[in-house]
Amino acid sequence: MGTPPLPTVLIIPTGIGCQQGGFAGDGLPVARLLAAASGCLITHPNVLNAASLYWPDARIHYTEGWALDRFCRGHVALRCQHRHCLGLLLDGGLEWDLLERHRQVAAAARASLGLPMGPQVVTPEPLGVHLEQGISGISWGGLKRVDLLLEAGRQLQRHGATAVAVVTRFPDEPPTSSVLQNYRHGHGVDALAGAEAVISHLLGQELGLPCAHAPALRPLELLPDVDPRAAAEELGYTFLPSVLVGLSRAPQLIPTAAAQAGDLLGHQVGALVVPHGALGGPAVLAAAECSIPILAVHNPSQLQVTAEALGLEGVISLRNYQEAAGVVLGLREGLDPGALQRPLGQTGQQLIRAHAP
């Protein structure tokens, strides 16, 4: 028998401008590498979605960010699901042609990929997405009509949807005119990502179902020197294909008290991999409380929430994701990461003198 999997969580936060994983699915090679090293990877859609490009892998569990935090905190279990009924939630603010483009994606996913597409709902009014950017450069945003979003999600759930893909009409221009061009040239942050996270978090929390978001925008004019990390978003009219493929095998969210044999539980996680400057999230803090190894990878972004800033001890600092994969593989084999370092040090060799009774 081979070595059993080591459930590993990979987090690359959305909208903070990570040099690796902060663009259009450019975290996917990292996820594939860590899935191979661990045998079981739990990560969020931002890492895996590359617009029209995707890479199905049974070892990777596609888990929306709010649900991933809940999993790491021990509030929900993940149950492998190989056949979802995919509901499609469409923003009433979509122009007719953009609406039809996205409905055609759903039809193509059923005809070409065999995905079980379920009900579709169009909100009666535009959802009103707005984009913002903080002084730090981090992107965020929200909706004017959260009520319409949640009611549309409930309608899909009542009609049998077990996972929900959301398409909302995003402004074609980000908060400042330079943001989009910088992003296409490989600089700055994804201006859409922060608002996308808010939308999927709201819906996932309301429904308790796997959810993921695809923004709808007008196609951009050709840019010959677009950065390869942003190129996946230049390929067509929609970012929906990767969302549908990811959701089709997303794990169910099960209350921990109802977990069964074979379900993934937070205490089974053997490692958490995260950018070195993004250690302040709920999943990371939950891992620290449970003494789960935290692997902080050098991956610069707009955040500087480091182990030193938080006073976290025992965080393993690594130069790149290749090193992280090596540490995960070592942990999976039962090796002490410190045993591979030089100088070796005396960790684990403390002599305790027993006292006579």
**DSSP string for residues in 175-186:** SSHHHHHHHHTT
CATH architecture of 8-78+254-340: 3-Layer(aba) Sandwich (3.40)
More confident residue, 24 or 31: 31
Phi, psi of 132 (to 5 degrees): -135, 160
In whole angstroms, give the CA distance from residue 246 to residue 244: 5
Task: Please check whether residue 122 is in contact with residue 90, taking contact to mean a CB–CB distance below 8 angstroms.
Answer: yes
Question: Hey, do 8-78+254-340 and 86-248 end up sharing a CATH topology, with the first three levels equal?
Answer: yes
CATH number 3.40.630 given to 86-248: no
3-state percent helix, strand, coil for the chain, nearest multiple of 5: 35, 20, 45
- 78: which strand partners? 253, 264
Question: Tens digits of per-residue pLDDT, 239-293?
Answer: 999 999 999 999 999 999 999 999 999 999 999 999 999 999 999 999 999 999 9
Strands (E) located in 34-150: 41-43, 60-62, 76-79, 86-90, 117-122, 129-133, 139-143
pLDDT of residue 69: 97
Strands (E) located in the chain: 8-10, 41-43, 60-62, 76-79, 86-90, 117-122, 129-133, 139-143, 163-169, 211-216, 252-255, 271-275, 294-297, 316-318
Helix (H) or strand (E) holding 82: none
Task: Please check whether residue 298 is in contact with residue 318, taking contact to mean a CB–CB distance below 8 angstroms.
Answer: yes
Phi, psi of 152 (to 5 degrees): -65, -40
pLDDT of residue 346: 61
How would residue 138 be classed by pLDDT, with cut points 50, 70 and 90?
A: confident
pLDDT of residue 82: 77
**281 CB neighbour count, 10 Å cutoff:** 18
More confident residue, 213 or 194: 213
pLDDT of residue 29: 97
pTM (2 decimals)? 0.93
For the record, the structure tokens of 144 come out as 């004017």
Domain residue extents for the chain: 8-78+254-340, 86-248
Question: Which residue from 165, 267, 150, 287 is spatially nearest to 205, judged by alpha carbons?
Answer: 150
More confident residue, 234 or 40: 40
